[in-house]
């Protein structure tokens, strides 16, 4: 994909962000508690750093990166005040390139990947926060841990010393009904209530531009927004 180049007029980013913030406030008042914190992540795939920085200037504090190579080429141009999560499919041989530049890896879909993250975190004297990516629809074409295996893999990964499992991430199937989001919320609540040692289950990262309203209704506290914020990708 071609990277979206900056325009002279950045007002569309600010206008889109204002709409998103308004919608979140309405949804929060309708479905959530007043003290719930719902973070809006700006998904930066193909978006030029200059445009991303406009979003940061106007209140975005969390960025989401999909591709290692693209992130490495852009990271030095971002305002350093923004937190960065890696949200794309991650190959084990690429972990070393991002380990010191992201605060969380949301897309952990195997014990093999978790072991490599643990190895690289140990080398760099840190603990890496991660989310388990759940293939909530058990779709053959998607990455993620099958629904029935999530609890087992969290128990296994929790034994690693330089990783902290913080919760779940998912991309529900296209046109999924609310029952799918409810199923994911229930899984999240069950795992949190298990109080697995050396985990801190507090993050549910679900919802993108086309479904964040439903995701917020069913407990998401990170929504990952690209198109609705930056416009349609080229």
Tell me whether residue 125 is in a domain.
yes
H or E element at residue 49: helix 49-57
Tell me whether residue 90 is in a domain.
yes
Tell me whether residue 104 is in a domain.
yes
CA-based nearest residue to 181, from 127, 138, 219: 219
Determine the pLDDT at residue 5: 55
Determine the pLDDT at residue 175: 85
List the CATH number of the domain containing 194: 3.20.20.10
For residue 199, list its beta bridge partners: 165
Tell me whether residue 2 is in a domain.
no
Determine the pLDDT at residue 202: 98
Tell me whether residue 27 is in a domain.
yes
Determine the pLDDT at residue 234: 61
Task: Give the number of domains in the chain.
Answer: 1
Determine the pLDDT at residue 77: 96
H or E element at residue 131: strand 128-135
Which residue do the tokens 């899984």 mark? 187
DSSP string, 146-191: EGGGHHHHHHHHTT-TTEEEEEEEE-PPTT--HHHHHHHHHHHHHH
Alpha-carbon distance 22 to 234, whole Å? 27
Tell me whether residue 1 is in a domain.
no
Q: Which domain range does residue 215 map to? A: 11-230
The per-residue pLDDT string of the chain (234 residues; one tens digit each, 9 = 90 and over) reads 455 555 567 889 999 999 999 999 999 999 999 899 999 999 999 999 999 999 999 999 999 999 999 999 999 999 999 999 999 999 999 999 999 999 999 999 999 999 999 999 999 999 999 999 999 988 888 999 999 999 999 999 999 999 999 999 999 998 899 999 999 999 999 999 999 999 999 999 999 999 999 999 999 999 999 999 999 876
Determine the pLDDT at residue 147: 95
Determine the pLDDT at residue 52: 96
Tell me whether residue 18 is in a domain.
yes
Tell me whether residue 180 is in a domain.
yes
């Amino acid at each position: 994909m071609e990277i979206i180049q900056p325009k002279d007029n950045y007002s569309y980013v600010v206008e889109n962000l204002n709409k998103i913030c308004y919608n979140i406030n309405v949804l929060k008042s309708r479905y959530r508690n007043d003290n719930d914190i719902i973070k809006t992540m700006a998904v930066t795939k193909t978006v030029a750093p200059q445009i991303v920085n406009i979003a940061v200037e106007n209140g975005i504090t969390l960025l989401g990166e999909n591709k290692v190579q693209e992130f490495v080429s852009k990271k030095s141009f971002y305002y350093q005040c923004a937190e960065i999560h890696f949200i794309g499919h991650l190959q084990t041989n690429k972990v070393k390139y991002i380990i010191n530049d992201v605060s969380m890896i949301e897309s952990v879909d195997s014990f093999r990947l978790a072991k490599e993250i643990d190895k690289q975190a140990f080398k760099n004297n840190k603990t890496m926060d991660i989310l388990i990516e759940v293939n909530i629809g058990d779709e053959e074409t998607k990455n993620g841990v099958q629904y029935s295996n999530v609890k087992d893999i969290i128990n296994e990964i929790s034994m690693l010393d330089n990783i902290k499992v913080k919760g779940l991430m998912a991309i529900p199937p296209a046109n999924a009904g609310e029952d799918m989001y409810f199923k994911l919320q229930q899984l999240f609540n069950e795992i949190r209530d298990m109080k697995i040692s050396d985990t801190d289950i507090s993050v549910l990262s679900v919802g993108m531009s086309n479904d964040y309203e439903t995701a917020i209704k069913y407990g998401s506290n990170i929504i990952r927004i690209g198109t609705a914020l930056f416009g349609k990708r080229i």
